[in-house]
Amino acid sequence: MMSGDEYWSRYGEWHRALYDAGFFGLSWPREYGGQDLPPVYDVILDEELAAAGAPPRPSLGYLVTGLGHHGSAELRQRFLPGMINGTERWCQGFSEPGAGSDLAALTTTAVADGEDYVINGHKIWTSYSDVADWCLLLARTDPDAPRHKGISAFVISMHQPGVEQRPLTMISGISTEFGQVLFDGARVPARNMVGAPGDGWKLAMTVVAHEREPSTLGFTARYGRTVASLAKKAKAGGEPAPAELAWAHVQTQMLYAHVRRRLSEQLDGVTHSSDGSLDKLLMTWTEQAVGHAALAVAGTSDDRALEAYMYSRAQSVMGGTSQIQKNIIAGRILGLGG
Amino acid sequence: MDARLSAEQAELRDAAARLADDLGPHSVLDLSDAERQARLEKALAATGWRTLRSDGASGVEIALVAGELSRGLVDAPFLGRVLADALRPSAEPATIAVGGIAIDARDAVRALALDGTRLLSARVGPLASGVDLTRATGGLAGPFEPAGEISAAHAARWQALAIVVTTAEQLGAARGAHALALEYAKVRAQYGHVIGSYQAIAHLLAENLALLEGSESILRYAAWAVDERKPAEAINAARIAKAYVQVAARTVCETAIQVHGGIGNTWECLAHVFLRRVLVGGELFPVRLEEIDVGLPGFGAGSGVPLPAAGMARRARERIHDER
C-alpha cells in the first residue's frame, strides 16, 4: 500500500487506468460514460481492489450526483463524461473558514459582470484542489435573500488568475489532501451556473446526503484488509492479539453486514436520505476502532500505523461531523426537534 | 446474501410484535399481574412459536420472534422452549440447562443439555426468580441422564442458533429500552423545554439508534448464517454478532437509564428490566472479545458470502477476475 501523499500524487493516473479497464463509473448512466449497473457492482469492485492491495476507487459519486441531479442538459453533457473518465479532475468548493458545519453561513460572493460572474472568497477542505481542473463551487449571488436562498452553484475553472492554492498539512502528515483555495476576482461564465440563481442550497443538500450513503462506504474492505494485516503482525510478534484488534475486527464485520443490508434494501428501491447519517456514524466508529487497533498492535514507531490512526481522526469531521450527523438523526429520524 | 425479509418473515415479526405489545408488561407492576400472564401464556402457546425450529423455521425467523418478544419484555417462556425444541422436539414442556441451571424454566418438566454431541436430560426442580425479572430459573431435581445423540452438524448449528437467539433477545431488549427513553425525552421538560430538544440528550439517543441499526445488520447476517453457512462459519458469525450486540445493547440500556435521570434508577422504571435481560443474555452462551478469532474470514472477496442479487454479483466478480 502506498502512503497518503504518494496516493494523491498518482490519483488521476489511477482513475484513468480504472476507467480504461472498464472498472470505473459502474453504477453511473451509460450516456455519460458509466455502465448503468446496480450499486452492488461498486461494492464488489471495492472489495476486489482491497483484496488485491490496490488503492481505493476515487470517490466522486457525490459530485456526479450533484451535477447529474441539478445541472442542465448542456452542463451534464459537457462535464459528466470527463468527470467520470478521469480526463478532467474536480474538487468541491463548499466549506469556508467561517462556514463549516453551518454551511449556509458561507460568504464567498459571485457578482454578475457582463456574461460572467466574478468570484471572491476563501474555500477550505477542497480535496484535490491543487490538481483539479474544475471546482463545483457554492457562492452567494444574492446577499439580500434569506441565507439559504441566496446561494448559487457554479462550475468554475481552476486554471485562471485569481485562483490561489494554499493546501494544509493533515495531522497524519499528508500534505495535499486538505486543499485550501483563495478566489480573488476569478471569473466563471454565467452559463456555468448549476440550476437557477438561488438553487445552490438544494444542490449542496443532494451532494452531502450522497456523501453519507452506503455506496460510499467502500472503505469497509480496506478496514478488513488493515485488520487482517494487523492480525498477521500481532501473530508474528508472538503476543496475544490486543482487545482493540478484536474490537476493530468485530466493528469491521458489522460494517460489511450493514452495507449488505443497505444494498439489499436498495433492491426494493428504498432510498436512505437521513439514514445515511447512521451509516456515516457506523463507518466513522469502525475506522476509528481500526486506528486504535493499529496503534495497539504496531505503535507510534510504525509509520503506516501512525498515519492510519492519525488519518482516522478526520473521519468524524469530513463529510459532516459526527455531531452534525447526530443532529440529523435526532431531528429527522427520532423526531427530537431542536 | 439478501438481507431483506420475505413478506412471510415480515408478517411473522409483526405478529410477534403485536402479541408483545398487547399482552407484555407495560410497567414493573404488570410483572406481577397473574391474570395478564395467564392470557399471555395462552396466546403464546397458541402461536406454535415454541416449536419453530422443528416446524422448519430458519434462524432468521426464530431471531425475529425472539427479538420482538424481548422488545416487549414477554414474560412467558420462549427462549428455553425454542432452544430445547431445536435440540430434540418433545411433547412434554422442556427447556435447556446452562451451567447446571434450567433457564427460562417456568412450566418446564425437563431440561436438556448438550455435551459434545451427546444429549443429556434432567428433571426441573423448584423455581427461583432470577436477575431477569421476566423469567424464572430452575434447579435440577435429579442428575443428568443420557438422552441420545445428535449429529455433529446439528450440534454445531444449534450452538450457532443458541448464540443468535440470545443475541436477538439482547437487541430486542435494547430496542425496547430505546423506545422507552425516546418517549420520555419527548415529554419530560426541564428549563422550559422537553429534554429531547437538548443536544446533550438528543445525541445520546442518536448514537443509540446507530448502535441499534449496526446491531440489526450484523445480527441479520448471523441469523442467516445459522442455516446458510458451514457450521464453523455459522458459529463464528454468531460470536461476532454477539460480541458487537452485547456492547451496543448494554450501552443503549445504560443510556435509557441516564435519560430518565433519577427515575431511571428506581425499581419502578422499566429501563432496568430491559437492562437485566441484556445482562443475563450475555451470560448465556457468552462470547468474550479475547476469544474472537481475528484470522477467520467473515466477509469480503473470497469469503464465499454472496452479495445481494447473488447471480448478478457472481457474474461481476467473475468478470473482474477474468480481466485481471
pLDDT in tens, A10-25: 888 999 999 999 999 8
* Between A114 and A2, the higher pLDDT residue: A114
Cβ partners under 8 Å of residue A218, min gap 6 = A42, A43, A46, A56, A57, A59
Quote the CA–CA distance of B134 and A20 in Å, as a whole number: 62
Chain A within 8 Å of B196 (Cβ-Cβ)?
Answer: yes
Given this model, what pLDDT does residue B324 score?
A: 46
- Residue ranges of chain A that CATH labels 1.10.540.10: 4-85
Instruction: For B280-306, write each residue's pLDDT tens digit.
Output: 999 999 999 888 888 776 776 666 666
Chain B within 8 Å of A321 (Cβ-Cβ)?
Answer: no
Q: What is the grid cell recorded at A259? A: 452495507
Instruction: Among 3.40.190.10, 3.40.30.10, 2.40.30.10, 1.20.140.10, name the CATH number for the domain at B153-290.
Output: 1.20.140.10
What does DSSP assign to residue A131? G
Given this model, what pLDDT does residue B310 score?
A: 60
CB spacing of B323 vs A249 below 8 angstroms: no
Span A288-316, average pLDDT: 94
Instruction: For A50-92, write each residue's pLDDT tens digit.
Output: 888 888 888 887 888 899 999 999 999 999 999 999 999 999 9
Q: What is the grid cell recorded at A192? A: 456555468
Chain A within 8 Å of B232 (Cβ-Cβ)?
Answer: no
Given this model, what pLDDT does residue A307 score?
A: 92
CB spacing of B217 vs A260 below 8 angstroms: yes
Q: Which chain B residue shows the shortest CA-CA distance from A284?
A: B210
- Evaluate if residue A188 carries a pLDDT over 70: yes
Chain B within 8 Å of A38 (Cβ-Cβ)?
Answer: yes
CB spacing of B307 vs A263 below 8 angstroms: yes
Binned at pLDDT 50, 70 and 90, residue B242 comes out as very high
Chain B within 8 Å of A112 (Cβ-Cβ)?
Answer: no
- Residue ranges of chain A that CATH labels 1.20.140.10: 212-333
Chain A within 8 Å of B206 (Cβ-Cβ)?
Answer: yes
- Evaluate if residue A116 carries a pLDDT over 60: yes
Q: Could you tell me if B253 and B181 are in contact, meaning their C-beta atoms sit under 8 angstroms apart? A: no
Given this model, what pLDDT does residue A59 score?
A: 80
Handedness of CA B9, B15, B16, B18 (dihedral sign): positive
- The domain segmentation of chain B, as residue ranges, is 153-290
- Evaluate if residue B319 carries a pLDDT over 80: no
Q: Could you tell me if A106 and A138 are in contact, meaning their C-beta atoms sit under 8 angstroms apart? A: yes
Task: Tell me whether residue A274 is exposed, middle or buried, using C-beta atoms within 10 angstroms of its C-beta: 0 to 12, 13 to 18, 19 or more.
Answer: middle
Chain B within 8 Å of A105 (Cβ-Cβ)?
Answer: no
Q: A209: which strand partners?
A: none
Task: Give me the residue from B289, B317, B320 closest to A243, CB to CB.
Answer: B289
CB spacing of B205 vs A334 below 8 angstroms: yes
Alpha carbon of A66: minimum distance to chain B alpha carbons (Å):
26
Given this model, what pLDDT does residue B193 score?
A: 96
Q: Which one of A211, A213, A287, A307 is the catalytic residue?
A: A211
CB spacing of B210 vs A278 below 8 angstroms: yes
Q: What percent of chain B has pLDDT over 70?
A: 92
Q: Which fold has domain A4-85?
A: Butyryl-Coa Dehydrogenase, subunit A; domain 1 (1.10.540)
Instruction: For B125-157, write each residue's pLDDT tens digit.
Output: 999 998 999 999 999 999 999 999 999 999 999
Chain A within 8 Å of B309 (Cβ-Cβ)?
Answer: yes
A250: closest CA among A285, A213, A215?
A285
This prediction's pTM: 0.93
Instruction: For A124-177, write each residue's pLDDT tens digit.
Output: 999 889 999 999 999 999 999 999 999 999 999 999 999 999 999 999 888 878
- Residue ranges of chain A that CATH labels 2.40.110.10: 90-195
Span B159-180, average pLDDT: 98
Q: From the CB of residue B74, how many other CB atoms can be counted at a distance below 10 Å?
A: 29
Given this model, what pLDDT does residue A216 score?
A: 53
Quote the CA–CA distance of B198 and B190 in Å, as a whole number: 10
DSSP B148-199: EE--HHHHHHHHHHHHHHHHHHHHHHHHHHHHHHHHHHHH-EETTEEGGGSH
Q: Could you tell me if B281 and B215 are in contact, meaning their C-beta atoms sit under 8 angstroms apart? A: no
Given this model, what pLDDT does residue A156 score?
A: 98
CB spacing of B221 vs A45 below 8 angstroms: no
Quote the CA–CA distance of B95 and B109 in Å, as a whole number: 8
What does DSSP assign to residue A301? T
Binned at pLDDT 50, 70 and 90, residue A214 comes out as low
Based on DSSP, count helices (H) and strands (E) in chain A, helices before strands: 11, 8
Instruction: For B93-134, write each residue's pLDDT tens digit.
Output: 999 999 999 999 999 999 999 999 999 999 999 999 989 999
Write the CA distances from A49 to A63, B16, B102, B266, B317, integer angstroms.
Answer: 22, 43, 50, 53, 11
A256: closest CA among B298, B167, B5?
B298
Task: Give me the residue from B203, B216, B323 closest to A21, CB to CB.
Answer: B323
Q: What is the grid cell recorded at A50? A: 482491497
Residues of A in contact with B301 (CB under 8 A): 47-48, 50-51, 221
| Known catalytic membership, residue A211 | yes
Chain B within 8 Å of A233 (Cβ-Cβ)?
Answer: no
Helices in A148-242 by DSSP H: which ranges? Answer: 200-211, 220-237
CB spacing of B209 vs A50 below 8 angstroms: no
CB spacing of A47 vs B290 below 8 angstroms: no
Span A3-10, average pLDDT: 75
Q: What is the CATH number of domain A212-333?
A: 1.20.140.10
Residues of A in contact with B221 (CB under 8 A): 257, 260-261
What stretches of chain B adopt beta strand conformation (E)? Answer: 94-98, 101-102, 110-115, 118-129, 136-140, 145-149, 189-190, 193-194
Residues of A in contact with B300 (CB under 8 A): 47, 50-51, 221, 224, 256
Write the CA distances from A263 to A63, A68, A173, A250, B295, integer angstroms.
Answer: 21, 21, 35, 20, 26
Residues of A in contact with B238 (CB under 8 A): none
Instruction: Among 2.40.110.10, 3.40.1360.10, 2.40.50.140, 2.40.160.210, name the CATH number for the domain at A90-195.
Output: 2.40.110.10
